[in-house]
Structure 1
């Protein structure tokens, strides 16, 4: 939406404009829509070239006011709606433009199908933690680092990079340690995948955040971090947008995890039984292993010192920095154990063959 900011501002016309002015605007701005606002700056409606054509067929001329051609109950969305939802609305309603309006009905942006269908190029860095020993996956990992284990014929890391590339990311840093030379040999500088890949080489295991202290140069904008063994359809770009919108120092993607108690639970007070719950379901948020961080968050890390992500978040909270959770619903699999590996293979193979 941001890339079209200047364009949609040019497509705003007052409610007293003429059909001639709308035609000129449609030709000049070339986004196939005009946004009509009243004197208070509120969106009155939209006009497309189809609305103009219908108006002319009804006998309106170029000097006629646009009152009769405004599409007044135009579909609008709030600014925080995700790209995926906007795309679904466009497809369902067979439209190519949807204005975003705030709570006062003032236009704050415009979603265009062409822009949404091709995600914006993101200069932001993406760091992938690929240094783990993969102990739980032995013997698979005795001669192969975990992120290189094949899932549906391709290393896990390659799935992550290709998914992020579709989201507009092109610069990756891989933090490597255990059998790291094999990862470097496989991916090189990223040319084969059409991206740029650099490496952070941990001399000893530094945890899920510690390697970030080795970043040099330090990123100059918010960046995404993911564990190298997390296969997910999460939209990394939307996670980043969410992080920026909430002005956070650090954002953690979280999933709702449901666990059913295997037994009927008896509630007691002293020796009195006060109630029963038959196999209750407990819901909690779990860390999905994908994060967005502000460059300043790196100030809490010491070079070459071990640190895990939850610790980094706790340090930021102690400094009264904002840390937020990004609730995700997309398919997600943490490939930690052999049965996770076979499940990932099954899921991705089914997706590529179109089965569910």
Structure 2
């Protein structure tokens, strides 16, 4: 059985400080490299680290409508007013095994990848309130037909695990699947891979996390005693992937660990005065940008910095974290499906 709440928890504020830090994490790369770009070469190198996928061109017009743009409140005083409209960003943590470093950290095949972590970050018009919705990777969905870079398209797949979309069609199929089940347009896409996450933790000198119970997970190769622990990059990544060593082994339990880890990591970032240590600042910026994949609307330092500046009005009291309401799948007790009508109500509130 999966260890989910049969009643769901959509709309309930939870871990507001955690959520604020997650949203700050979306723009961390831009803010860090802004300080690191003291030379033309440094700026060029970090800017060119960022990989991108042209999702808009791949999906065309067969998508939910875009939100109506909202002018900035400061439009009359700013020469270049910041964007202030509602925004939806799909954030994925990829378990890609491609490349020597990812393969070693993933502990699996050198081919294929799935989205281990998926969050829809919705920022309200005015950009002073936000909601982060986690989608369990074990959710069974109807995966739509997705275009392939090699030509042609995938077939529609029924009762397919949500995270298989990334496996069969990459970022484009992940976005199309999320839009298909939510009917919400994803304005941007952000992905970070295994090696980048581990490098970031190491560049920060590790991350301190309090573990509530002993963990012994042979799949993620993690063994930890309960208590407060300083984790290096490889250990932190293993913790983010752990599911069988805690609770009932469900993906929903792993989501809780991931939230705890992200909070601890970003608190470490905020407590480390990177701007007084240019060497470490550059190392962190290198770790972030070298593992980052975005849509073509966020694939430059200037675009990331603009996004960060537009979110300056967000406060902890105006941010909430929820998980998509789910129930056990009738066809498989190890899987979940969206709980209706609660899930549809949640997604409608984000349009």
TM over 0.5: same fold? no
Tell me which protein shows more helix as a share of its residues.
2
User: Who wins on radius of gyration, i.e. which is larger?
Assistant: 1
| Structure with the larger strand share | 1
- TM range, normalised to the smaller chain? under 0.3
Between 1 and 2, higher relative CO (CA 8 Å, sep ≥ 6) is seen in: 2
